[in-house]
Chain A
Amino acid sequence: MQDVITLRHVWAGYEDDVVLEDINFSVRPDDFIGLIGPNGGGKTTLMRVLLGLVKPMRGQVSIMGKPPELGREHIGYVPQIIDFDRSFPITLFDVVRMGRLGYRKLFHRYNAQDNEIAMAALGDVEMASLKDTPIGELSGGQRQRVLIARALASQPQILLLDEPTSSIDPKVSTSIYELLQRLNERMAIILVSHDMNAISSYVKTIGCVSRKLFYHAEKAVTAQMLEAAYQCPIDLIAHGLPHRHLHDHVQEEAAL
């Protein structure tokens, strides 16, 4: 199987400030990767590099064999729901149809096929019955589903999610992770989160972003990864992780 995303020796940042250093990363079509890391560690920058919003200083980025500015059409991006204005006058069907923008160029209206695909995407996230509801009337979990449906409407090969459960209660989070697991049968999924406990039970592999990327296409989070990723001890880091292989002294630090 060919990799859907390849990063080779990528350095990125803003002006003189290097945020990401020598990133090497490949994603296979059936991957479900959880990326964790401290705040300011470069998770967001890595996402922006994949989406072609930040140009790398050095190195090569390839999305479906294309540079990110073109290859991003294969990425379904799901931003954080907190970034949205709840009073924005728009129905969730119209939000989902935005996923069709790349297919329906300027001067053209959305056509029947777009509507069909948008409805199918709403069906995938089990929101079809609410299609004419203004987004302001939805709960956080429902809005998250709508944004996932919008990403699906662009028929992506890769789904990229930014903190999909950060402001959602745990019960609803579970249902969203289960939805993602189903979607993973059709596409690669990368999700970025600081909530390691939650994602570790659903993703196939975990990587750590902290200036560098610590990713070995495994689910295990090694002590080396944590030591490198989190400079100072952070509590809870070791809890609930399957296959953890932590050094004794790291566990002591974690207990602090």
Chain B
Amino acid sequence: MINTIWSALQYGFMQNALITAALVSIACGIIGTYVVLKRIVFLSGGVAHAAYGGIGLGYLLKIPPLVSALGFSLLASFSMAWVHRKTKERSDTIIGVMWALGMALGIIFVDLASGYKADLMSYLFGSILAVSQLELLLMAVMDILIIIMVALFFKEFLALSFDETFTTIRNVAVDWLYVILVGMIGLTVVMMMRVVGLIMVIALLTIPPAISNMFVKDMKKMMVMSILLSLVFTTSGLLVSYLIDLTSGAVIIMISGIAYLLSYVGKNLYQIYKNRQAGVEVHE
């Protein structure tokens, strides 16, 4: 098995896949932490699915789908962020409508597009093995952008995630920060689409931070741990899928999901054990 993996690593596409896993994990660990803490998982799901409109547009206009998806996703992010901030009630309904509209647009664009529609499925279910040099470059740029933004606005994003009302009262430009945050979710989601497909983006975005949150009590540590977990899940999923010839995106998500369940059960059992120990001490 080691030999199989070793020889697989000699292929250029495998090396690209591993670089992709690393680049995506960075964005995913940082932004996923905000998504989980700010509880905007649904909004992120909306952005991810609406981005399919951009994929369709790419096929229609014969431009790289990842580029048009990027534009579309940012547009979806900004409009959903605006809806989320400005409508008093039922913003989730409106986001749900935009989620579906984006996907419908994508399907219609693909219908209208002429010619051979190769690897359309790869955007839905991911295909980390088919990442191009251009896409790698794009991902690296997006990572740098995300790291710079988070470094610049770290104290504001922390405050915004923890207590939005208080942050508003301190006269921080909360609306703008929110738009920037959701915009970064848009970027991240497009990168991740290549790895696990837009249908499973939400799982990879939320599982690593959710596990980290069980074990660390500091936001920066939570981000670092999420990046590492995401890296472990994507690379191990990639190798397993290669060895037994399964869809890589799905294997990555299966591994993440199982890891989540195990940590959840483990953490609770440990808590029960600790409480019982504490109980014994009290009795003595």
Contacts and interface: CB of A to CB of B under 8 A. Distances in A.
Contacts of A85: 37
B217 A107 contact: no
Interface stretch (B62-70, B105-113, B150-158): B150-158
Contacts of B281: none
Interface string B28-40: 0000000001000
Most buried by B among A88, A94, A97, A102: A88
Most buried by B among A51, A90, A137: A90
A97 B170 CA distance: 12
Contacts of A83: 163
A52 B219 CA distance: 30
Interface string A106-124: 1101100000000000000
Contact of B155 (A69, A89, A109, A137): A109
A88 B156 contact: no
Contacts, number: 79
Interface string B218-260: 1101100000000000000000000000000000000000000
B212 to A, nearest CB: 8
A150 B168 CA distance: 14
A188 to B, nearest CB: 16
Nearest to B173: A106
A140 interface: no
Interface residues of B, number: 27
Nearest to B218: A89
Contact of B153 (A79, A88, A91, A106): A106
Contact of A154 (B158, B170, B216): B170
A89 B216 contact: yes
A79 B152 contact: no
B162 A88 contact: yes
B158 A79 contact: no
Interface in B148-195: 152-153, 155-156, 158-159, 161-163, 165-173
B213 interface: yes
Contact of B222 (A52, A79, A89, A150): A89
A88 B34 CA distance: 11
A84 B161 CA distance: 11
A145 to B, nearest CB: 16
A90 B162 contact: yes
A13 interface: no
A41 B219 CA distance: 39
A211 B162 CA distance: 32
Contacts of B221: 89
Nearest to B167: A101
A79 B173 CA distance: 20
Contacts of A234: none
A91 B218 contact: yes
A29 interface: no
A75 B153 contact: no
Contacts of A70: 171
Counting contact residues on chain A (CB < 8 A from B), the size range is 35 or more
A141 interface: no
A101 B156 contact: yes
A208 B128 CA distance: 64
Contacts of A72: 169, 171
B213 A87 contact: yes
A77 B161 CA distance: 17
A53 B165 contact: yes
Given A107-B152, A134-B217, A136-B217, A90 B158 contact: yes
Nearest to B214: A87
Contacts of B218: 89-91, 134
A51 B156 CA distance: 19
A178 B213 CA distance: 36
Contacts of B163: 79, 83-84, 98
Given A88-B37, A89-B222, A90-B219, A79 B166 contact: yes
A102 B217 contact: no
Most buried by B among A87, A89, A94, A101: A89
Nearest to B33: A89
A110 B166 CA distance: 17
Given A106-B153, A107-B152, A109-B155, A101 B216 contact: no
Contacts of A98: 155, 158-159, 162-163, 166-167, 170
A87 B217 CA distance: 8
A256 B117 CA distance: 76
A79 B156 contact: no
Interface of A: 14, 51-53, 69-70, 72-73, 75, 77, 79, 83-85, 87-91, 94-95, 97-99, 101-102, 104, 106-107, 109-110, 134, 136-137, 150, 154
11 contacts: A73-B170, A73-B171, A77-B166, A79-B163, A89-B218, A97-B155, A101-B172, A102-B171, A104-B155, A106-B153, A109-B155
Interface of B: 37, 88, 152-153, 155-156, 158-159, 161-163, 165-173, 213, 216-219, 221-222
